[in-house]
Amino acid sequence: MFDQLRAIQQQFGYLPADQLQQLAIRMNVPVSQIHAVASFYPHFHLTAPPRAEVKICADMSCHLRGAPELKAGLAQMFQGQDVSIRDVSCLGRCDKAPAFSVNNRIYCGVDEAGAASLVRDAASGRQLPPEPRDNPQTRVISDPYDGSPSYSVVRRFVETRDWTGILATLKASGLRGMGGAGFPTGNKWEIVRNAPGKAKYIICNADESEPGTIKDRFIMESVPHLVIEGMIVAGMVTGSNQGIIYIRHEYEEPQEVLQEEIDRCYRAGLLGKKILGSELAFDLEIFVSPGGYICGEESALLEAIEGKRSEPRNKPPFPGTNGLWNQPTVINNVETFTFATVILARGADWFKAAGKNGAAGMKFVGVSGDVNAPGIFEVPMGTSYSELIYKNAGGVRGGRNLLAFAPSGPSSGYLPASMVDLPLDWNAVAAAGSMVGSGAIVVCAEGRCMLDMALNAVRFYRNESCGKCVPCRVGSQKMVEILMGWTEGRCSDTDQQVMAELSSAMKLTSICGLGQVVPVPIASVMKHFPHVVEEHISERRCSAGVCFAKRGVA
């Protein structure tokens, strides 16, 4: 369905009602079903768009690096013209913020004059230039092949069939899911191997859409062979013959790099019906997401692949036993498959020894926001956040002092500068009330308003809620309204009590993790920056000068 919807939109610029009716006849499904899917995903348009459709990332890193000012400037410049200028959720370019798209072409780090020129070209019907290509570093420290992939793990398995040894190695390494959940990888693969099913599936979740999360894009562009080999091995170990890389539609370049490597593997006999001449088989394809942060939730991702609205399923059952098409399914993130290959090639002892300060393993992190050199870095676990910010990312922008940092985007909440010496360690960060998560480190410099940053994060979750369950759909909207009131001088004596009750209800009753983490950003600010909340509520004052004066409140 998605391929046909994309083809229609490419031809007409949107999805005309008569074309949806014809598609329904061809697919022999009710047109209401097609409309339900098309209306759910932000990638599809049910009405004709303006000549120039400008979408500016509104989240965390872009919010800190000038996106609001860019939006205001363009809105004033093109007022009254056939140009739409609006916010959009994270575009996955946090290291090059601010990011924006013009007629679905993404651009980064362009000043207002450059952005205006692109909008004028689009409005005039002129061809837009492509997004500038990245030049990722050619060598990843952990890559056992040093850029010359030999797929030695696959070759060894074809000879030995030692699936028990692979599971034992992964368990001994302590490898966890690197997408944020942290579930032990060896255990997950073992569950799927032992689960009965007519077919089994291996899915790579490359939909990273949370603000600050940019590492998977870098991995796919730099070492696609490690991702693919990890998936092939997972298929062989679990008894799966089919793999799918689920990638966000904004990641065109990583998609091209992955497809080139997949094609190379087919030519080399590493994928297909008879891998390296054996009876083993594994096919791999790329599924391009039709958009939406919720697609990163594993069961919502499955719904999308099945051609439905990307709404999370109730759990249990879990994907390990009832996943894609209700069959046993491994779902791991890009980085997890990458390090699975590294561990199986280098050994569990190598991986554990790679960490420092008592932590095990390596980790890719993205550092963005108020830093001089935002980027993606491969570092030993146990590295302090201080080192990541001041050494890897070049220190706080403009020579200012550090105010706060999010260890993993909005879902981790904010920690104060006094905790910057925490190590990149699952247990240590959890003990501090946060999480390592996906390693999406977003830095806030002195002079920022942390209540404004909490509102920005909660608004992101409100915008990205699928709306399936009432606690998330209604609770996130109510939370945004309360926080907007606090930043605009509209407060009630019961606000904080309502906020506490909302937080509890959403954590306990939301179907998926999105609804459960909506309260995290404001809860962290109320815990670590209570004076900021107090000055807004009691004194109607923002010491950072961000909230009241900016919004026209005396």
- Kindly report the number of other CB atoms within 10 A of residue 173's CB atom: 25
Domain contains 43? no
Mean pLDDT of 146-153: 92
- pLDDT for 554 equals 31
Shared domain for 359 and 337, answered yes or no, is no
In a domain, 385, yes or no: yes
Query: Within a domain: residue 129?
Result: no
Q: Which of 230, 207, 217, 221 is closest to 144 using CA atoms?
A: 230
Tell whether 391 and 309 lie within a shared domain: no
pLDDT tens-place string over residues 200-215: 999 999 999 999 999 9
Q: Which domain holds residue 24?
A: 2-38
Same domain, 172 and 206: yes
Q: What are the φ and ψ backbone dihedral angles of 201, each rounded to 5 degrees?
A: -130, 150
Please report the pLDDT score of residue 136 as a whole number. Answer: 59
Top-confidence residue, 290 or 280: 280
Give Cα 320 distance to the centre of its chain. Answer: 22
**CATH number of the CATH domain containing 417:** 3.10.20.600
Segment 308-334, tens digit of pLDDT: 999 999 999 999 999 999 999 999 999
- The answer to whether residue 136 sits within a structural domain is no
pTM of the model: 0.95
**114 and 221: one domain?**
no
Whether residue 468 is contained in a domain is answered as yes
Distance CA 20, CA 13 (A): 14
Residues 276 and 160 in one domain: yes
Specify whether the CB–CB gap between 37 and 309 falls below 8 A.
yes
N-terminal to C-terminal alpha carbon distance within the chain: 53
Tokens of 258: 């992955």
What would the mean pLDDT of 501-512 be, rounded to a whole number? 95
Question: What local confidence, expressed as pLDDT, does residue 548 receive?
Answer: 86
- With a cut of 90, say whether residue 289 has pLDDT above it: yes
* Confidence band of 551 (pLDDT split at 50, 70, 90): very low
Phi and psi (nearest 5°) for 319? -60, -25
Say if residue 278 is in the same domain as residue 410.
Answer: no
pLDDT at 147 over 90: no
pLDDT tens by residue, 350-370: 999 999 999 999 999 999 999
- Within 8 A by CB and 6+ apart from 114, the residues are 107
Average the pLDDT over 519-535 and give the result: 96
Query: Do residue 13 and residue 56 come from a single domain?
Result: no
Q: List beta partners, residue 409.
A: 407
Give the pLDDT score at 138: 56
Residue 367: helix, strand or coil by DSSP? strand
- pLDDT for position 529: 98
**Per residue in 77-135, pLDDT tens?**
999 999 999 999 999 999 999 999 999 999 998 999 999 999 999 999 999 998 887 76
Name the H helices within 28-106: 31-38, 60-64, 67-77
516-542: average pLDDT: 96
Q: What's the mean per-residue pLDDT of the chain?
A: 94
**If you average pLDDT over residues 492-507, what whole number do you get?**
93
552 confidence band (pLDDT: 50, 70, 90) = very low
Query: What CATH code is carried by the domain that includes residue 520?
Result: 1.20.1440.230
E-state strands within 346-414? 362-369, 375-380, 402-406
The answer on 400 and 265 residing in a single domain is no
